[in-house]
Structure 1
């Protein structure tokens, strides 16, 4: 596909909202509060913010910058950035990123299907169909086999429309809706008895846990997963923006919005846990949540059920919120592979989208059938190994390989930008060193 016919974002706001949508997902609204509850409350929050600033934000910049400068899909972008000498390595890394995107979609669409089913459960209850409501809120294999494809079709319907007409337009609608629903739920929960104890746990760090290596690694995995780094989503979105944009400001906007949503999601979920505790529910066991899935699928629905009809509305709002968050993330991961197929294999967007959707469907069905064995393994491989490794590769490309590591330095000198020069040094030396130290710790 030629550059003259390539689809693109039509505004900076559209790019920021779409990119924030890619970043803001279940990892923010479900995963982040769960990690906070299990890892020292405010201690995890503090470490997460530090890791985001020191590592995740520079990695996000590197990924968006490569895509924006190359104006093509991640595989071709990394191949071009690595030059003739290392082009094959760059191309291989890009393909690994595509595999990462497919891995993410394979488990993410399953979880998204859960959210969609649970959002319909209170609706069925309101309509008087108790049996349907119970089934929708169950964890049956049949339900998963039905709702996973439904979510894949929803994602495909938006991606099929293209970058501007589909991704940008729907992100601009869904992201404000997500924020309004989240704030509404927070306002309601914070008025309930017991909520302030949760706020205290969330905001006051236990400094004795801050140096815990497991906490730091968990925070790093959460930060990379939350910002959707390492699977090519941010690279392909960056490629859909014109090259004259201030990437630094755009990346800061994305990261700030993503972190803000994660932070306020904690203000919903953690206080809600303590409201449930106040109502006599068992929430913690040996200092840990009694189960990550139970937080969203048992504890909170059980709490809301005690509120009568209002509780049904709250349950609907919560799971609709989570469904929206999941949808904006699956859109971006699907677009990564679709962009490659359209540009490198000359497929039409329709056939590329359908092909990716079919591949994701097959992979997700395999996980559903072998859930206990594969599900957690895929998530762990993606978040603690593949995403950080890809981020390390981005640092190496921008800091060492691309124009012999002088791409950012040359730009900084051209613009007489001392801050960018300093950032180039940080990206070249400090970021890879920090990540390598983490990998050494994981290995030994």
Structure 2
């Protein structure tokens, strides 16, 4: 019998954990700092409503309808043989996304674990160990990556309720608490209010700039892992009594809330760092070291805080590691669910085999870092994932059929037919969302 989440809270925490990751806590504040602060925030919030939420409803609905892994769930949308084959090909392509993403994501998460360990060794006064943990090197990268894989595998092998739901329900509330603690502490530092103003007060003349809108659209798409199969996968574990639009809205609000909180912490922290002599922006106003903001600017800020900075560094990297882990377990769950269902294999066995294979690929990327790391990121997140997201929304919006889509959504939502959502959403997801995704695809190629 197929496992289901034990509670709505467990599902929402797991799904929010899948969406909440380094893209929210690292990517969003970096994008906001590079694109006008408040103007980017305003555009991002608008595009989450226009693009992210409607497509999230579709992915969760496809998953719950299929009650299977992504390939078999999407295949069920087809009525004829060629339709089923076309849908399955989109599912197989979708399976590639979380697998490829995990190969580089685990490397970055390994860096976070290394910096977390360095925060502990700094507190203990073990400075030689701290230097090794903080310095970019092959040995450090491989060790951190493998440790992160082991943590991910241990959660996934335990199953949906005892592994994914249990740990997501613990880690996500901890994430919010740590964020709030860090936010209130940062606000007490000199320079924080300037950063807060930059973040919360938009320059309305910049909101409609094409570059800013494209960046905000891409961030809205990727922050909810649209096209990443995780939401479709988790939807397949959702029982038929749940209200999908309401649940998807709660996930969207949680995900957007974490991104917003990340901006509240990191943008003021950047200005505190500037006040303490750390260079953040170039002369042309662009952000320096945007790709390594978490590993350069923030540690430099913590170093200027004395003993309190050591504690803040520990809290921050615990927070980052939690965000990384809640996302990685959803990524590994996608291929694990497929293989266990298709081959009737043991979940622990397939989790260790697949996790081990992906870990080996990550080690290969570490060894050939300059060649492979950026290439895998571009291939998975900028090229394949938007195509899969487009495939899901077109298959769900057009091939599935309005009547069958309605019959799936009305379960758990008896008043759907008379709702404003049902009057707008089916046409919006058929016409507007594909156009917006095509813009994302065009901006990445």
Shift, 1:109, TM fit: 0.3
Q: Which residue of 2 aligns with 1:416?
A: 417
2:434, 2:279 → 1: CA distance?
Answer: 43
The answer to whether structure 1 residue 352 and structure 2 residue 353 are counterparts is no
The answer to whether structure 1 residue 369 and structure 2 residue 367 are counterparts is yes
1:186, 1:23 → 2: CA distance?
Answer: 21
The answer to whether structure 1 residue 393 and structure 2 residue 391 are counterparts is yes
* Mapping 1:207-356, distance limit 5 Å: 207-285=204-282, 286-356=284-354
TM-score for the superposition, normalised by structure 2 = 0.95
1:438, 1:326 → 2: CA distance?
Answer: 24
From 146, 164, 180, the equivalent of 1:183 is 180
Shift, 1:354, TM fit: 1.1
Structure 1, unaligned stretches of length 5 or more?
A: none
1:381, 1:146 → 2: CA distance?
Answer: 25
Q: Which residue of 1 aligns with 2:97?
A: 100
1:258, 1:55 → 2: CA distance?
Answer: 14
- The C-alpha deviation readout for 1:119-153, integer Å capped at 9, x for no partner, is 11021122221100111111111100111010000
Shift, 1:258, TM fit: 0.5
1:442, 1:298 → 2: CA distance?
Answer: 27
- The C-alpha deviation readout for 1:68-121, integer Å capped at 9, x for no partner, is 111111010001112333111111111111110111101110000000010110
CA contact (8 A) 2:243 2:409 kept: no
Shift, 1:206, TM fit: 2.5
* Residues 229 and 440 (structure 1), Cα distance of their counterparts in 2 relative to 1, 3 Å cut: closer
Structure 2, unaligned stretches of length 5 or more?
A: none
Q: Which residue of 1 aligns with 2:48?
A: 52
Shift, 1:438, TM fit: 4.6
Shift, 1:48, TM fit: 1.1
Q: Which residue of 2 aligns with 1:71?
A: 67
Cα RMSD (Å): 1.7
Moved more, 233-242 or 354-363: 354-363
Shift, 1:442, TM fit: 5.5
Moved more, 272-281 or 375-384: 375-384
CA contact (8 A) 1:412 1:421 kept: no
Shift, 1:437, TM fit: 4.4
CA contact (8 A) 1:67 1:236 kept: yes
* Residues 437 and 38 (structure 1), Cα distance of their counterparts in 2 relative to 1, 3 Å cut: closer
* Mapping 1:133-148, distance limit 5 Å: 133-148=130-145
Shift, 1:366, TM fit: 2.0
